Structure 1
């Protein structure tokens, strides 16, 4: 399902940013004042560690497919964020 919104990251746990499976390009940006860790999965289960996550500083983000951003995650179709301090993330996808 398409999504264009700002999502609050839940402090000290994984927060899903995508609305179901996404195979198209995603656009996301860390809108908080803190660095956050982003990770993709190939199903609705949250990541179990920060291993393989990419850290984005305030104002940083990406515009690409999840497969291109996370080539080590076979079938990547969901995006998650982990923040130690909470914060906001802008997300858009088709």
Structure 2
């Protein structure tokens, strides 16, 4: 299902940003005032650690496929954010 929203990044837990499996281009951006970590998964299960996650500073983001942004995640279809302080993230996908 398509999504175009700003999602709160819950402090110290993984928050799913995608609304179902996504194989098309996504846009995501850290809208908060602190750094956050993004990670893709190949299924609906949240990551279990920050291993392999990419840190983004305030204002940073991407517009590409999950496979291109996270080449180490085979079959990447879901996007997650982890914020140690909290914040918000913009997400858009078809």
TM bin, normalised by shorter chain, reads: over 0.9
| Aligned partner of residue 68 in structure 2, secondary structure | helix
**Alignment length, in residue pairs?**
94
Compute the TM-score of the two structures, normalised by the length of structure 2: 0.99
Structural mapping, 1:1-94, within 5 Å: 1-94=1-94
RMSD: 0.3
Deviations 1:22-53 (A, max 9, x none): 00000010000000000000000000000000
Q: Which runs of at least 4 in structure 1 moved beyond 6 Å after TM superposition?
A: none
| Aligned partner of residue 55 in structure 1, secondary structure | strand
